């Protein structure tokens, strides 16, 4: 089970979270990664924690002001990237472009989707994983695996029908070890979460609880 902590643009200390994630991963043997803002990728990677970008643009080097190049985040220590998060939606062609850009830079990819139908469409693009995240549950206190377990099961089935090699993650509201256990029981290979760790007074304690569910 892979735990990916998205720091979004929350006013947390990315180094504190990254250090806590690194320590819990080393102590537990769990795979934990942190996804900071682009400006913090190098600093977070320097802590030794597995580091992911929040987004990469669907273009290569050139006159693309404001782009986040896959090659740039890889050069700064990122090992993977999210694509098409609900808060940074892309057109289908751009999702494909971002996945291809990540492949050029040897980055792993998780494409986010709102529902099982979108999971199937995203799986057809050949990412490493697809994450199902109902927008209405993002940032809330109830995990998708509790509020709507059927959507996770349907997402797993949708990806399996298109490409059995694409893993399915679930996100939205994940905050406890019980949520992680429930996600695994429903067939998910990992979880995405943000506020549960990024807004916590003690991120390390939350992470320790999360890995207890693995």
* CATH pick for 2-58+67-211 out of 3.90.1170.20, 3.40.50.2300, 3.20.20.70, 3.30.465.10: 3.20.20.70
**Domains in the chain: boundaries:** 2-58+67-211
Distance CA 19, CA 171 (A): 22
64 is catalytic: no
Q: pLDDT tens across 128-149, in order?
A: 999 998 765 555 565 555 656 7
| Residue found by looking up tokens 């979460």 in the block | 193
Distance of CA 22 to the CA centre of its chain: 16
Report, as an integer, the average pLDDT of 51-62.
96
Q: pLDDT tens across 183-197, in order?
A: 899 899 999 999 999
Which is catalytic among the residues 61, 71, 103, 133? Answer: 133
71 is catalytic: no
Q: pLDDT tens across 3-15, in order?
A: 999 999 999 999 9
Distance CA 213, CA 67 (A): 37
Distance CA 205, CA 41 (A): 23
Which is catalytic among the residues 85, 136, 160, 204? Answer: 85
């Amino acid at each position: 089970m892979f735990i990916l902590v998205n720091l979004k643009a929350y006013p947390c200390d990315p180094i504190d979270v990254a250090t806590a994630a690194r320590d819990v991963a080393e102590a537990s043997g769990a795979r934990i990664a942190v996804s900071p803002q682009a400006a913090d990728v190098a600093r977070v990677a320097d802590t030794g924690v597995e580091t992911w970008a929040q987004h990469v643009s669907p273009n290569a080097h050139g006159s693309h002001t404001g782009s986040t190049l896959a090659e740039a985040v890889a050069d700064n220590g990122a090992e993977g990237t999210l694509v098409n998060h609900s808060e940074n939606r892309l057109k289908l062609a751009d999702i494909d472009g971002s996945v291809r850009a990540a492949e050029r830079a040897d980055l792993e990819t998780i494409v986010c989707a709102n529902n099982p139908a979108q999971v199937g469409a995203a799986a057809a693009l050949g990412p490493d994983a697809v994450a199902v995240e109902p927008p209405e549950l993002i940032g809330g206190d109830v995990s998708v695996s509790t509020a709507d377990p059927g959507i996770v099961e349907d997402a797993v089935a949708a990806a399996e029908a298109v490409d059995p090699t694409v893993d399915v993650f679930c996100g939205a509201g994940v905050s406890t070890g019980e949520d992680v256990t429930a996600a695994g029981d429903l067939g998910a290979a990992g979880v995405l979460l943000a506020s549960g760790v990024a807004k916590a007074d003690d991120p390390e304690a939350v992470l320790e609880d999360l890995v207890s569910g693995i």
